[in-house]
Structure 1
């Protein structure tokens, strides 16, 4: 100590979670050399930290046609196979094996694939299990069907082969996103902890700027995987157009690096939006208007804008969970995928206790949006459920302390 640490993450949301933990860990151990291997995509979430010298991206990386969701459909799997996913996985496996021979630790963030790769490296490893929660089968709304029965019989959403990898002696740390899930794993001999959810770290809380206080404020989340994100956004914006309320509405389109402003322009023009003046007290890249609706486009503004919203319209993963964790309810509209399909949306709704409501049609979403904007008590009730499911901020610091103690000093 200090030495080296390799971090594996398998998705955009997992990249963001890993980044929060890395930032907290570097505060505790500034001299630690951290390498990251984004297993899905280019790992763009790490770009700023890499430029600042906090970490280094290594290994083979490739944007896959399925966006990392080849397990959701045969078509996605075949597309990924055609794009060379086997060669990509082989290159990543070889890198982790070389790393393992050095004896330096590996931290896996995500689900089975990074966990399996960390184990295959042969050295000490830790695991942050981010996507699975026992809330998805232990409570509603709706029913998880046969999946719920399967998980209930096991007593955990994680599977026996995953328990085996987590229970290995070389696995020095297992952390879950919530206490319910950690308790289920402990019943199967996995010493799982739930020190906090790093997804809630880094979000700013504050009132909206003065220029937006006369508007009803709705956060627009279409996801980050292209071209799916543009299709999701088109569906959400068509839903908004079906609303009948005369109240002025501002749509806060907080995005990452994708979709880019260049991707947005033809979409908005096609839907009848025109360029508008950006309010002087709001840091937006551009503004668009149509009737009584103002749309603000803000790449990189999610951490600040999320807390301004009264409601979210969502077709995204991690960003939706973070918004609901702030106590802001959401409505979702499933699309054709590959990620945000109905099954994904319904699972997300169960995970968050109904704080995200899945809508069946654009008109259904428009009607529920206007109902929720008229009912502050209902919004508060749903928001409280979401905040309880996601937990408070501070998870990154707690996880960094555990990593330092169990992985770096072991």
Structure 2
């Protein structure tokens, strides 16, 4: 450990590019500040508004602008064009100018994401670590990194490479990369019960609805998920309970408008509809994500990070491809390869009724298969891992910062 005088000079810059990346990075940053209160930890979110950093009281030093794609344009060139017309080039230039202007304010960088934050970390001229949160060998059974990524990771300024799963760690070691380590996935550390008293009936299967975090896409996703629930009750009776985790960007007025649009009723945090003489209730919560995920039996998921967290808990996930821009069939299919058997995606179809009916049938089938549910728990541990990753990673980073 350094003396107080030396420790006070250590300034760390967290660089990330995306909602999930910001979340992972902010969790590591939070633990760094706890491990060593002398560290000054700032953030440089390249995509979005950096809300995860603000929630952890980590200052943002990057220029901010929300792009239409949310940084997920690699799956659809049209989203990239939308970003370009919304000022992506200007924003990128501003970010490069800013990183060059502030780089001498920092002693060390943490790059969380893909090649983009790696490139920005490299531009600083400082030593850094990389958390390849956007990369996994599970996608193709072998990780083919871009040339620039390889170049930067092999730089003598890259002191450690973190992966989110052991399969990717072993693959990178076989490829000759040094200082590769896996300590798990920090996002699992957020799943702590807030002790919300959810009115759950222990006698009925609980289904969680995760429509995603991007507005207005999340509202469109919720409509599809409600349709699945409606068909499930219509075909198989009312022996289910439904809980939805919403983000704050969806307001009560949005829910009232949505209910009118699809012939449901909204009242005091519950969406209701009468089906076959029975009332179906969808409970809506803004502050019970972890509680809902921890207690559910199955997830209807149209999200990225949240679905990964569900799998980490051993939950089965049913994916319904939406219109995007994020949660399309292509995104869902990639997520199946990443997360394995826990994740089942219904066939993409323009026939919404058919697609949602297939989803309802899958839910019934999954929850009746106890062997499959046991495999989901095992697979979740292998693919995602347990809690504690953010603290373990912060320990490694603290040692490297203190030694350099």
With the length of structure 2 as denominator, give the TM-score of the two structures.
0.89
CA deviations on 1:365-389 (whole Å, 9 max, x unpaired) are 1110122233334223223212321
Distance in 2 of aligned mates of 1:219 and 1:157: 35
Which range moves more in the overlay, 262-271 or 322-331? 262-271
> 2:238 aligned with 1:247, yes or no?
yes
2:361 aligned partner: 367
Distance in 2 of aligned mates of 1:259 and 1:209: 20
Distance in 1 of aligned mates of 2:252 and 2:205: 24
1:36 aligned partner: 43
1:385 aligned partner: 379
2:266 aligned partner: 275
> 2:34 aligned with 1:63, yes or no?
no
Distance in 2 of aligned mates of 1:162 and 1:245: 50
Contact kept, 8 Å, 2:259 with 2:266, in 1: the verdict is no
Contact kept, 8 Å, 2:210 with 2:302, in 1: the verdict is yes
2:171 aligned partner: 184
CA deviations on 1:24-63 (whole Å, 9 max, x unpaired) are 112101232111122111112223222xxxx112221111
1:322 aligned partner: 309
Distance in 2 of aligned mates of 1:352 and 1:237: 24
**Relative to 1, partners in 2 of residues 1:187 and 1:378: Cα closer, same or farther, differing over 3 Å?**
closer
> 2:294 aligned with 1:307, yes or no?
yes
Contact kept, 8 Å, 1:127 with 1:171, in 2: the verdict is yes
Q: Once the 2 structures are TM-superposed, how far is the Cα of residue 156 of structure 1 from its aligned partner?
A: 2.0
Classify the secondary structure of the residue corresponding to 1:71: coil
Q: Once the 2 structures are TM-superposed, how far is the Cα of residue 213 of structure 1 from its aligned partner?
A: 2.2
Classify the secondary structure of the residue corresponding to 1:294: strand
Q: Once the 2 structures are TM-superposed, how far is the Cα of residue 210 of structure 1 from its aligned partner?
A: 5.6
Q: Once the 2 structures are TM-superposed, how far is the Cα of residue 208 of structure 1 from its aligned partner?
A: 7.7
Alignment of 1:138-177 (within 5 A): 138=141, 155-177=142-164
CA deviations on 1:235-277 (whole Å, 9 max, x unpaired) are 1211221121213432211123233333333213323332356
Distance in 2 of aligned mates of 1:311 and 1:238: 16
How large is the RMSD of aligned CA atoms in angstroms? 2.0
> 2:345 aligned with 1:354, yes or no?
no
Ranges in structure 1 where 5+ consecutive residues have no aligned partner:
139-154, 278-285
**Relative to 1, partners in 2 of residues 1:269 and 1:249: Cα closer, same or farther, differing over 3 Å?**
farther
Contact kept, 8 Å, 2:256 with 2:265, in 1: the verdict is no
Question: Paired residues, what number?
Answer: 382
